[in-house]
Amino acid sequence: MRADAEHRARIETAAIGLFAEKGVVGASVAEIASAAGVSQGYLYRHWKDKDEMAFDLFSRLYLALRDRFQAAAAAEPTTRGRIAAMIREGCRVHDEDPAGFRFLLTTQHQHLGRLPAGTRTMVDVVRAVIAEGIAKGDIGLHDEAAATAVVFGIFLQAATFDLYGNLGRELGETADILAEACWRAVAGREAA
């Protein structure tokens, strides 16, 4: 059993790395198997095909990131602190696992719609923080959807900048700047 778990972990690491580098379409099962040091047949014991593997990996990474956002927000007493904590956590996850984050970023449009109906997403987590902040009067941008989009836009654009080598440093080094930008963008005049 332990060897099987180790093989599976190697396969997952290889697949995420190749999916991040080449895309799901561009990475072949043969490349994944070779990078993991297993046979192609071994991969098919765990997943029926490459698309099933990609969705399985995406959903586990995405839901783990959602849980980390939720836990980070829950640990803070203020709206501003919750937004900052989520941004910092996102930056931390990005820096800990750049390939996994790149995989999430570049395949989200392909996979998010495949999550089971009613699955709580990262958007739901951020939107709940925004809604609570609006209700408390902490957030001056009174459109939950727009404010949520602003927070994601600031964070994900910075991550995309890094993806293309335009950031010039670890994303985590910009976490406080990004958190402040998010806060200023949604809080309103009192944020300054």
Two tokens, residue 149: 């989009």
Q: Does 189 score more than 90 pLDDT? A: no
Q: How many beta carbons lie within 10 A of that of residue 113, not counting itself?
A: 7
The sign of the dihedral angle between the CA atoms of 30, 34, 36, 42 is positive
Q: Among 118, 87, 100, 90, which residue's Cα sits nearest to residue 183?
A: 87
Q: Among 123, 144, 129, which residue's Cα sits nearest to residue 82?
A: 129
Give the pLDDT confidence score for residue 1 in this predicted structure: 60
Residue pair 160/101 in contact (Cβ under 8 Å)? The answer is no
Average pLDDT, the chain: 94
Give the pLDDT confidence score for residue 77 in this predicted structure: 97
Domains delineated in the chain: 1-46 (1.10.10.60), 55-191 (1.10.357.10)
Two tokens, residue 150: 């602003």
Q: Does 4 score more than 90 pLDDT? A: no
Two tokens, residue 3: 């060897």
Two tokens, residue 38: 């297993």
| Residue 40: DSSP 8-state | H
Q: How far is CA 145 from CA 35, 46, 86, 134, 149, in A?
A: 42, 38, 17, 12, 6
Size (the chain), residues? 192
The pLDDT tens digits for 117-141 are: 999 999 999 999 999 999 999 999 8
Give dist(CA 143, CA 130) in Å, integer: 9
183 contact partners, CB below 8 Å, separation of at least 6? 80, 83, 84, 191
Q: How many beta carbons lie within 10 A of that of residue 60, not counting itself?
A: 12
Q: How many beta carbons lie within 10 A of that of residue 5, not counting itself?
A: 9
User: Which range, of 44-48, 49-53, 67-71, averages the lowest pLDDT?
Assistant: 44-48
Q: Does 192 score more than 50 pLDDT? A: no
Residue pair 110/118 in contact (Cβ under 8 Å)? The answer is no
The pLDDT tens digits for 133-186 are: 999 999 998 999 999 999 999 999 999 999 888 999 999 999 999 999 999 999
Q: How confident is the model at residue 2 (pLDDT cuts 50, 70, 90)?
A: confident
Q: Does 50 score more than 60 pLDDT? A: yes
Q: Does 52 score more than 70 pLDDT? A: yes
What's the pTM?
0.91
Give dist(CA 53, CA 156) in Å, integer: 25
